[in-house]
Amino acid sequence: MSNGLSCGSSGGSSLVGGGSLPVSPSTNTSSSSSGSGSGTPCQHCKESAKVLKYVLPTAEGKLEFCSEPCLTGHRKAKKHQGITPNGDSPGGPNNNGASSSSSHSQHPSTGVEQSSPDTDASFSWKEYLQESGSVPAPASCFRQSLVPPSNEFSINAKVEALDPRSQSTCIATVVGLSGARVRLRLDGSDSKNDFWLLVDSGDLNEMGTCEKNGNMLQPPIGFTLNATNWPKFLVKTLNGAVIAPSKCFIKEPVRPRRNYFQKGMKLEAVDRKNPALICPATVSEVDGKELNQEKVEWFL
C-alpha cells in the first residue's frame, strides 16, 4: 500500500488502532475551523484567541479550546456532572458497546478498557465515540495484527529499510522505540528524515537481506558525503556495529481482500507533522483499493 497506510501496508503505520493517546492539535489543513477568526472565546476558560487549535466534536457541533488543559478540564467537568457534552450519561444506552483501548490495541473497536481514563495525557475512545456519535473502523479494515507484535529491537541496532522518499534499500539505525514501532535513521542522513515503521513491516529487514536478493544497499537521499565515498562509508559503518537479530523481524500480516473503510469511520493515524504522535482521525474519502493519507482528516 502506498503512502504508508495500514489498510494496504503496515509499513508506515500511518493508520493504527485505538489507544491511550496524547491529545494533539488539529493537523487538518484542508478543513476550516470556526476558531480561526479573531477573538473567538475558548469553551472552557472563555479567553479570546485568534486560533483555537483543539476541537471536540459533539452532537451539537464542534467545541473549540485554546489549549490541551482547557479541553481536558472541560471533559472532566462534564464527567463530574454525570453527563457528556451531548447530554447522555457516560454509561448510557448510546455507548453502542464501544470500549476505550490500551496503547497496544489495533483499532478503536477492539481494545481493552483503559485503567485510568481521567489522566490528562490519556484519550478515551469510549468517551470520544459516545460524545461524537461516531462509528469506529472495524478490525477487518486493517492489515495490522489484532494482537500487537512484541518489539525486540534495541537502540543503535542496524537494520535494512526502504528509504520512504526513494524506495531504495538503505542501512538504518534504530534510534527510538514506541510500542510496536521503531524509529529509524538512515545512515548517512540526518535526524530531519527519521521515520517510523511497525516491527512487522515488509519495509524492515535484517542485515544481509538485500545482498541475498542480488541487490546492493544504496545511500539515502541527501547522503551527507560524496556519493563516491559510499562504499567506504558502508564498511566503516558496519565495522563493529550492533546488528539486529533475526528474532526482531516478524512476518508482515496478510493484506485485507479489499478496502473496507467507509467515509466517516474513526481510526487512529500518525500525525503527518509529528510522526511521533498517533491521533484520532476520520476517513474523509475512500477511493478504490487504497486509502491515501490525504483522505484522512486529523481533528484533535
Q: What is the CATH number of the domain that holds 213?
A: 2.30.30.140
The answer to whether residues 198 and 138 belong to one domain is: no
- Is 201 inside a domain boundary? yes
- Is 149 inside a domain boundary? no
Q: Is the pLDDT reported for residue 289 higher than 80?
A: no
- Is 228 inside a domain boundary? yes
Residue type, 146: L
The answer to whether residues 103 and 53 belong to one domain is: yes
Q: According to the model, what pLDDT value does residue 47 have?
A: 82
The secondary element (H helix, E strand) that includes residue 232 is helix 230-238
Q: According to the model, what pLDDT value does residue 2 have?
A: 36
- Is 73 inside a domain boundary? yes
The whole-angstrom separation of Cα 99 and Cα 89 is: 15
Q: Is the pLDDT reported for residue 103 higher than 60?
A: no
What the block records as the C-alpha cell of 142 is 486493517
The answer to whether residues 140 and 212 belong to one domain is: no
The answer to whether residues 97 and 55 belong to one domain is: yes
The answer to whether residues 125 and 240 belong to one domain is: no
The answer to whether residues 88 and 235 belong to one domain is: no
Q: According to the model, what pLDDT value does residue 173 have?
A: 97
Average pLDDT rounded to a whole number, residues 13-42 = 47
- With cut-offs at 50, 70 and 90, classify the pLDDT of residue 80: low
Considering only residues 70 and 10, tell me which one the structure prediction assigns the higher pLDDT: 70
The answer to whether residues 16 and 89 belong to one domain is: yes
Average pLDDT rounded to a whole number, residues 121-125 = 74
The whole-angstrom separation of Cα 31 and Cα 293 is: 15
Q: According to the model, what pLDDT value does residue 218 have?
A: 93
Domain coverage including residue 181: 158-248
Q: Is the pLDDT reported for residue 5 higher than 60?
A: no
- Is 151 inside a domain boundary? no
pTM of the model: 0.57
- Is 68 inside a domain boundary? yes
Q: According to the model, what pLDDT value does residue 83 have?
A: 53
The answer to whether residues 66 and 167 belong to one domain is: no
- Is 241 inside a domain boundary? yes
Choose the weakest-confidence range: 82-86, 160-164, 235-239: 82-86
The answer to whether residues 117 and 23 belong to one domain is: yes
What the block records as the C-alpha cell of 267 is 481510526
Choose the weakest-confidence range: 35-49, 198-212, 228-242: 35-49
Answer for the pair 124, 112: CB distance below 8 angstroms, yes or no.
no
- Is 188 inside a domain boundary? yes
